[in-house]
Amino acid sequence: MLGAVVSSHSTLRPRECSAATGPSIAEVPGPSVEPVLRRVRSLLLAVDADLDASELAPERSLTRDLGFDSVRLGALLDRIRQAFDDVDLTPWLIEAAQRGDDTIAGLAAALAGSPARADYVALARELAAGFAPRAREYDESGRFPHENFAELVASGYTAMTVPRRHGGGGASLEEVCRAQEALATGCASTAFAVNMHIHGVALLSAAAGSTIEWAYEAIVREGALLAGGFSEPDVGGHWLRSTTRATPVPGGYRLRGTKGFFSGYPASGLVFLSAAIPDERGVESPVGFLLPRPAAGIRVAAEWSAGGMRATGSHTLEIDDLHVASRYRIGAPGELPLLFMRACHWAWCSFAAVFVGIAGAALEHVAHSQRRRTLQVVSGPLARLPGVQFRVAEMHVKLAAARACLYRAVRSVQDEPAADPLAHYIDMSLMKTTVCRLAHEIVTLAVEVEGGSGYASVSPIQRMYRDVAAGLLVPPVTDVTLEWAGKQALGIPVLGEPRWAV
């Protein structure tokens, strides 16, 4: 029916609007219309990338002025359903198109009062623009970006992955990844550190559901932030083999151990700790705990100091005689590896997105600088040099490949838990490894294009170069990923012991 209504307009192309065909924004009732109008414009731009924001005046008609045919109108309606709590505007659009007043303002008026979901991708872009001018100072000082985190909390960004029934945004995996990709363009350290919270909340929600309602409330109402860590010294990236011990005691457990790379700890109000419970035979059962950050029992043993991602606050923590009540345990002893494998897409996809964001920012910076930079020996901008053009083309291709790999993995995730958790974990780990390698290659090309000026401390490219290298090092460890993937492909038991048996 929609196609029949708009078919008479489908051959029209955008033209200058000679007269308003619908209500102006001033005529649209309700104080909340202006934010809705902005949201409608962002949806229109998402549907048709060839549109320019300057074309989207309130009085413009979707069909006559913007040339939307039935295909694009259908895509717009789908995005409206996603953005406005399953609102179906098909009847309104049919009637408005027949009357000739299917304007942007009219669409905003029809949506006014509908419960809108937060647009976290747009919010991330806004936040990134504010974070970018501070990124250099945080990098050079290594100071944790408390100012950025205050803005993240105040904006509601940190409630993104809290389920909607518990007051959060209930964002999808794709929305999380696109938002984190955008945020990383402004300050990679901030995006990386907050990702510990963003993905951690989503992963724990998948594993524990409503049993951690107290944590959801702390995040939504109090702005609490989660930091967590599996990483430990001397385990070589094998997070399944925790050296932190959880000894059963009356009412709970007593934890002792060391945690490394505890990103986001300086801002945390909640912590997730993995440990192992040994039985009388010495067999260890991995287990996790989610608890309010304790006043005693955890101390910073070594402050974070590294070549890249310098402002993430990824401190080393000593856990000494920390008593944790039984109610803070996540799942039964021994379940932690399975719980993580089933929901690992929240971690590996969102971290990969951060490094894609860095690579995208590097490409944008290089394209801009090479168009305006000149040398005395070159008559014109450096962008005219074949070597520059070849490398920029490589960067474009690699960025497209990285995004395709990432978002293919994102869209492969189903609502139901993976039927084969180990295969799911390996697939997601291979994706993360591939994407981070491509991101590193892109920024390396950016350094080559920029030359010595890109290596200077005043250039953001050298910071991106140091930051993107972290993608090669953060879990899952590349060698372990390739070992597991190779064994799976060859039909060798992935977790069999001894590892290298012939």
The rounded percent of the chain whose pLDDT value lies above 90 is 68
pLDDT digits (tens, 9 = 90+) for 140-181: 999 999 999 999 999 999 999 999 999 999 999 999 999 999
Q: How many CA atoms lie within 13 A of 299 on its CB side?
A: 5
Class of domain 121-200: mainly alpha
**Average pLDDT in the 109-126 region?**
84
> pLDDT at position 482, please?
94
> pLDDT at position 8, please?
37
Distance CA 168, CA 129 (A): 24
Residue 227's SS3 state is strand
Query: Closest by alpha carbon to 289, among 269, 311, 274, 306?
Result: 274
Q: Is the pLDDT of residue 405 over 70?
A: yes
Listed as own residue / partner, the contacts of 86-90 with beta carbons closer than 8 Å and 24 or more positions apart are 87/111, 87/114, 90/2
**121-200 with 344-490: one CATH topology?**
no
Q: Where are the domains of the chain?
A: 2-111, 121-200, 229-334, 344-490
CATH code of the domain made up of 229-334: 2.40.110.10
Q: Is the pLDDT of residue 83 over 60?
A: yes
Question: Minimum mean pLDDT among 16-20, 31-35, 309-313, 464-468: which range?
Answer: 16-20
Are the C-beta atoms of 174 and 353 separated by less than 8 Å?
A: no
**Confidence band for 492, pLDDT divided at 50, 70 and 90:** very high
> pLDDT at position 279, please?
77
- pLDDT higher for 31 or 227? 227
Domain 344-490, CATH 1.20.140.10 — does that match?
yes
Q: Report the Cα–Cα distance between both ends of the chain, in Å, rounded.
A: 65
> pLDDT at position 245, please?
94
Q: Is the pLDDT of residue 422 over 70?
A: yes
DSSP state, residue 293: P
Predicted TM-score of the model (pTM): 0.81
> pLDDT at position 502, please?
62
Q: Is the pLDDT of residue 471 over 60?
A: yes
Question: Minimum mean pLDDT among 40-54, 295-309, 415-429: which range?
Answer: 40-54
Distance CA 100, CA 361 (A): 42
pLDDT digits (tens, 9 = 90+) for 341-354: 999 999 999 999 99
**Confidence band for 421, pLDDT divided at 50, 70 and 90:** very high
> pLDDT at position 377, please?
76
Q: Is the pLDDT of residue 25 over 50?
A: no
Q: Is the pLDDT of residue 242 over 50?
A: yes
